[in-house]
């Protein structure tokens, strides 16, 4: 390797492996505090030329380039002690189109960044959660991410669930039951497409009773607020109280 990797490079590569797909604007917000688009573009080009990243061009989309990690990028993560050597071949194939699923994944990355910048720690991506499920279960649905945060003087574990499309009530009941089964001791941060939808999800969740014994552990907020303010987005629990978080002890 001709390029000497910085700590930011390694963090960037790790996030790309976790997320599977990232746009330059996302690298800018997460890793270049106060930096410029030009600085991000120059570094991403160097990492690509070194073979650690690759990109697809999507000229008709807001994000005209989308980056994924490569086998060489995975090897760099293994060398840095960030990736299990058994996962060196775990890199995504270059997507051929910008599908609704990929758009959802990009929104999840945006939410992750907003959460991390406002107190979210030690992020575990949906890809990692899926890898952790027993293979016999097949492609079982998992949450969109898991992280630690501080509240009331305690370290807690949060779970992100982003509703890409509006579920009907029976589907919503299934989603709530799955979240309770998989993450019954965690705090759910449920993000909806808009404020009207947030109010409906909140009402259905209250009426379902699935989280009735832990009303403070199911929080709802609309996408726009969550993208802008992360954990400070005014999430509301099932008793109508706003979630208050603390950055530390």
Virtual torsion, Cα 239, 244, 248, 249, nearest 10 deg: -60
Where in the chain are the domains? Answer: 7-94, 105-232
- Give the position of tokens 């807001």: 62
Q: What percent of the chain has pLDDT over 90?
A: 77
For residue 5, the Cα-to-chain-centroid distance in whole angstroms is 24
> Is the pTM higher than 0.95?
no
- Give the position of tokens 């579920």: 167
Q: For the segment 145-169, what is each residue's pLDDT rounded down to a tens digit?
A: 999 998 877 889 999 999 988 889 9
- Beta bridge partner(s), residue 158: 147, 187
Q: For the segment 7-60, what is each residue's pLDDT rounded down to a tens digit?
A: 999 999 999 999 999 999 999 999 998 788 999 999 999 999 999 999 988 766
Q: Could you give the CA distance from residue 126 to residue 112 in angstroms, rounded to a whole number? A: 11
Which one-letter DSSP state was computed for residue 60? Answer: T
Position 248 scores a pLDDT of 43
The tokens describing 77, both together, are 């993560």
Task: Decide if 7-94 and 105-232 have a common fold.
Answer: no
> What is 105-232's CATH number?
3.40.1340
* Contact of 116 with 226, CB cutoff 8 Å: no
- Beta bridge partner(s), residue 190: 161, 220
State the sign of the Cα–Cα–Cα–Cα dihedral 129, 133, 139, 143.
negative
The class of domain 7-94 in CATH terms is: mainly alpha
Per-residue pLDDT band at 210 (split at 50, 70, 90): very high
């Amino acid at each position: 390797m001709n390029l000497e990797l910085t700590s930011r490079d390694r963090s960037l590569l790790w996030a790309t492996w976790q997320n599977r797909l990232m746009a330059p604007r996302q690298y800018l917000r997460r890793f270049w505090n106060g930096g410029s688009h030009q600085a991000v573009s120059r570094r991403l080009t160097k990492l690509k030329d070194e073979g650690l990243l690759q990109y697809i061009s999507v000229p008709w989309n807001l994000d005209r380039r989308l980056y994924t990690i490569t086998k060489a990028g995975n090897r760099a993560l293994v060398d840095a002690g960030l990736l299990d050597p058994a996962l060196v071949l775990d890199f995504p194939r270059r997507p051929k189109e910008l599908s609704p699923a990929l758009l959802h994944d990009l929104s999840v990355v945006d939410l992750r960044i907003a959460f991390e910048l406002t107190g979210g720690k030690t992020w575990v991506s949906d890809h990692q959660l899926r890898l952790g499920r027993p293979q016999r279960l097949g492609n079982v649905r998992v949450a969109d991410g898991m992280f630690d945060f501080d509240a009331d003087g305690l370290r807690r574990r949060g779970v992100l669930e982003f509703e890409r499309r509006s579920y009907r009530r029976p589907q919503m009941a299934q989603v709530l039951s799955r979240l309770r089964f998989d993450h019954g001791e965690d705090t759910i941060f449920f993000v909806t497409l808009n404020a009207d939808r947030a109010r409906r999800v909140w009402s259905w969740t209250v009426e379902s009773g699935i989280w009735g014994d832990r009303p403070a552990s199911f929080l709802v907020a609309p996408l726009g607020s969550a993208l802008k303010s992360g954990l400070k987005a005014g999430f509301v629990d099932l008793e109508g109280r706003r979630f208050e978080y603390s950055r530390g002890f």
